[in-house]
Amino acid sequence: MIEQAPALILLFPFFASIIVALAGIRVPGVSFPLTVISMFASVLSSVAVLVRVMNDGVIRYKLGGWEPPMGIEFRIDALGALVATAVSAVGLLAAIYSKRQVPAETGDRVSQYYTLYLLLMTGLLGMVITGDAFNLFVLIEVSALTSYALIAMGPRRASLAAYKYVIMGTIGASFYLLGVGYLYIKTGSLNMVDIHEQLIARGIFDSTAILVAFILITVGVWIKMAFFPLHAWLPNSYAYAPTTSSAVLGPLVTKVMIYVMIRLTFTVFGADYTFGQLEWSEVVVWMSVAAILVGSISALAQTDLRKMLAYLIIAEVGYMVGGVWLADDIGLIGSIYHIIADAFMTLCVFLFAGIIFAKTGKRDLNALDGLFTKMPLTMVGFLVGAFSLIGIPPTAGFFSKWYLIQGGIASGNWEYVIALLVSSLINAVLFFRIIEIAYFGAKPAEGHGDHHHAESHDSKISEAPLSMLFPLLATAALLLAIGLYNKDIVAIIAEFVSLSNLGAILP
């Protein structure tokens, strides 16, 4: 059975989604346990694959038994296995959180919600492990269609955000599809590794078509990951979606797209082409600097908790894109490490935002008034996530930033280092503001009577139920664990980076 583990990573959520769709209409109660069990099985399969990859090297799993490039293959290296593990773990934790919130926020559509949720996980996990450029497009669309629906199930402003996401997402996916077409017309192949071999064998790296393909694919993926200035669809989508949706979309969709960018950059085009032949690193790093600053400063201006976090995602995307385009192995390690760390820290703060919304029914920061005494455990979980986003040791966020800054210094991109530090400072301001409100209480905003009324309402608030508290605290514990075991994770990432041929092309 261990040979089948690569396929099982996504087959568990896939089959569960169909069973939830069929059985959930009659018995809505089966949806939640099936979701959690299948995600747990998916986590186990990913871990099994990760262990196997570390022992035996790259796994190739031929679907339908056809030899690539004729058939489609899964191609899982250390990076893919690591990201798949993180994605399935985030999916499991967010699923546990959803137990009370999905019936509360989607009413009588519980089975449809979980069907879409599991299909989203199928799509994301498939994107991580596939080795075929066109199959990647199909899976991008599976995850995109589910995210549109998961967002549009929210209240009315969510529908408008979802509509904009449909338009932008389709442009992004179509650009990607067109880019694959340009590659296909020049190489005749669709398998990622085979495309790269054909590019070398035919010696067409100088061709304009390949350049245009590169631009189309990169811009398409940038739209999907909300890289500045293509980020306009993201903040409202994640801010107004149901809380479970933002707790799973926020950490995963952008991170998986960054993984896709790394995969396409290094496996299809190759580091020699991207960083050696095209001399665009400087420009893209400057764009990421702009993304970091715009994201952080916009976050500072928000009073809506989830919207603030959504803008932070945009800044984090800037970190990772910049880290890849530093064209430095330490920067790349930092970038990949940050994918893992950021998936969990975004999950942590979005889970916190969801708990606050569930408990108080309010969206803005003043809802946090005096919560330290009422929900101490929730606040502890949040503090770990916040410290990680700021970058305080020993949380995961500190180590990823440490590597990113080292990469920035090594490649001489000081503007990137400064942007990182400024953004950390802004994060500190943001989160200490929240901590202040939660610890010392908010300033009375509108008149004395209102405040009094609010207080009597707030007195009902108590600690979050276990189904919400457990994923939050587990995420916090994972953040500490990822930070403390940073050497082991970096060892896994270094396995991929050493193959990426990045050191050889540096000037």
Partner 1 sequence: MEFFEVISAKFNYWIYVIIMMIGLYAMIAKNNMVKKLIGMSIFQTAIILFYVSIGVKDGATIPILYHDQVHAGHHHDDHGETAHHESTDDHHASTSGDHETDKYGYPTRHAPDVVIDGNDFANPLVHVLMLTAIVVGVATLGVGLAITQKLHREFGTIEENEIHDLIKSGK
Partner 2 sequence: MKSLALISVVITGWLLLSAVGDFPDWGDPDSPANSYRLSQHFVTETFHETAVPNMVTAVLADYRGYDTMFETVVIFTAGIAIISILRVFRTEDPGAGGPKVYEKRPDLIVDTTCRLMIPIIQLFALYVIAHGHHSPGGGFQGGVIFGASFILIALSRDMQAAHKWVPERRVLNLAGIGILIYAGFGLASMFLGYNFLDYAILHKIIPATPIEARYHSMLGVEIGVAFTVTAIMYSIYSNLASKGTMKEGL
The structure tokens listed for 353 are 């935002």
Q: Is the dihedral of CA 144, 146, 150, 152 positive or negative?
A: positive
Does residue 104 bind partner 2 (CB under 8 A)? no
Query: Is the CB of 179 or the CB of 471 nearer to partner 1?
Result: 179
H or E segment and range at residue 62: strand 59-62
Candidates 208, 456, 459, 462; binder of partner 2 (CB under 8 A) is: 208
- Decide: is 160 part of the binding site for partner 1 (CB under 8 A): yes
> Is 207 a binder of partner 1 (CB under 8 A)?
no
User: Under the criterion CB under 8 A, does residue 164 sit at the interface with partner 2?
Assistant: no
Give the residue carrying structure tokens 């708990």. Answer: 355
Residues 6+ apart with CB under 8 A from 347: 90, 93, 94, 247, 250, 251, 475
Q: Which is nearer to partner 2, 141 or 304 (CB)?
A: 141
Q: What does 200 interact with, of partner 1, partner 2, none (CB < 5 to 8 A by kind)? A: none
Q: Does 249 bind partner 1 (CB under 8 A)?
A: no
Of the candidates 167, 200, 466, 477, which one interacts with partner 1 according to CB under 8 A? 167
3-state secondary structure 162-221: HHHHHHHHHHHHHHHHHHHHHHHHHHCCCEHHHHHHHHHHHCCCCCHHHHHHHHHHHHHH
For 415-455, the DSSP string reads HHHHHHHHHHHHHHHHHHHHHHHHHH-PPP-SHHHHHHHHH
Q: How far is the CB of 171 from partner 1 (least distance, A)?
A: 7
Instruction: Output the six-digit token pair for 395.
Output: 């949380």
Q: Is 145 in the site for partner 1 (CB under 8 A)?
A: yes
Residue 166 sits in the site that holds partner 1 (CB under 8 A): yes
360 binds partner 2 (CB under 8 A): no
Of residues 126 and 407, the one with the C-beta less far from partner 2: 126
Asked if 200 interacts with partner 2 (CB under 8 A), we say: no
Other Cβ atoms within 10 Å of 44 Cβ, number: 16
Q: Using CB distances below 5 to 8 A depending on partner kind, what does residue 246 bind out of partner 1, partner 2, none? A: none
Helix axis angle for 396-410 and 305-325, nearest 10°, is 40
**Nearest Cα to 144, choosing from 168, 160, 179, 109?**
168
Q: Which residues bind partner 1 (CB under 8 A)?
A: 134, 137-138, 141, 144-145, 148-149, 152, 156-157, 159-160, 162-163, 166-167, 170-171, 173-174, 177-178, 181, 184-185, 190
Q: Which residues bind partner 2 (CB under 8 A)?
A: 4, 7, 11, 14-15, 18, 21-22, 25, 61-66, 69-72, 106-109, 112-113, 115-116, 119, 122, 126, 132, 134-135, 138-139, 141-142, 145-146, 148-149, 152-153, 159, 178, 182, 184-190, 198, 202, 207-209, 211-213, 215-216
